[in-house]
A = this chain, B = another copy of it.
């Protein structure tokens, strides 16, 4: 369980995984390592560095073992990998220095079927096996619930379904539950209500907000859940995962923009905004497209 003091927010940088996985262009391992090293040097306390899924399905994440082997470990940073199943866990064990994994489930039945090819119940059973093996290794588990504020196939997602999946992940040992507005359709009242409902059965300090900015609502939604006591925020440098002028680009909220708001709110993160922006600028040059961070554009562009 993360027990941050109330005036601090912990940023989980998901750009190298959730961001790059959704960029059309695969980024070479050496550039991914350079990005992660720049982000850890900027003071980010946790970075999701890749995933052990089949490169046939997600070519952008091929070479995650080489990324782990090549990065320079920063003492203040946790390096997390996404693991979909036992085979992925074995790959994580074979890789270098993994102690933190993330497990991915969906609050929407249709999204689960289309995205991970099984029902929510089946996915939780599969994740239960992975979690129990990870616990035996003494690893820390982070659980994702996707589609918490809406599903691309079903539209509205009942809060009760989010609660059920969040509780299930918590029960199988996830010390942190990251709530994903995967398609960025949520608005602040809805985000607030979700936290209020979840807080009845889970400690608010175990909840993380993982918002995408597809509809421009991410920072407002973050403000809403910060007001409710959430103190862990997932974000991606340069708003990776969505090009700023592509139709329906579903990028993560930009780390730079989150840091700027948190700083203004007097919430400490220990992260160097300018260093993050520099890392994003470099990566965007590799991707050949402008940053999706407005702060990076306005202040360092």
Interface residues of A (CB under 8 A from B): 184, 186-190, 213-217, 219-220, 222-224, 244-250, 254, 257, 260-261, 263-266, 290, 293-295, 297-299, 301
User: Which of B217, B249, B301 touches A260 (beta carbons < 8 Å)?
Assistant: B217
- How far does the Cβ of A190 sit from chain B's closest Cβ, in whole Å? 6
- Are B187 and A294 in contact (CB-based, < 8 A)? no
Chain B hits for A186, CB < 8 A: 264
- Are B224 and A187 in contact (CB-based, < 8 A)? no
Inter-chain CA distance A265–B215, complex, in Å, is: 14
Answer whether A189 and B266 are a contact pair too, CB < 8 Å, given A219-B219, A297-B247.
yes
Each complex incorporates copies of this chain amounting to 2
- How far does the Cβ of A202 sit from chain B's closest Cβ, in whole Å? 24
User: Which of B245, B250, B257, B264 touches A245 (beta carbons < 8 Å)?
Assistant: B245
Chain B hits for A184, CB < 8 A: 298
Chain B hits for A293, CB < 8 A: 216
Chain B hits for A294, CB < 8 A: 213-216
Inter-chain CA distance A249–B264, complex, in Å, is: 21
User: Which of B188, B224, B263, B295 touches A216 (beta carbons < 8 Å)?
Assistant: B295
A sample of 18 inter-chain contacts (CB < 8 A) reads A187-B264, A187-B265, A188-B264, A189-B264, A189-B266, A213-B294, A215-B260, A215-B298, A215-B299, A216-B254, A216-B260, A216-B294, A217-B257, A217-B264, A244-B244, A246-B297, A248-B298, A249-B297
Chain B hits for A216, CB < 8 A: 219, 254, 257, 260, 293-295
- How far does the Cβ of A236 sit from chain B's closest Cβ, in whole Å? 14
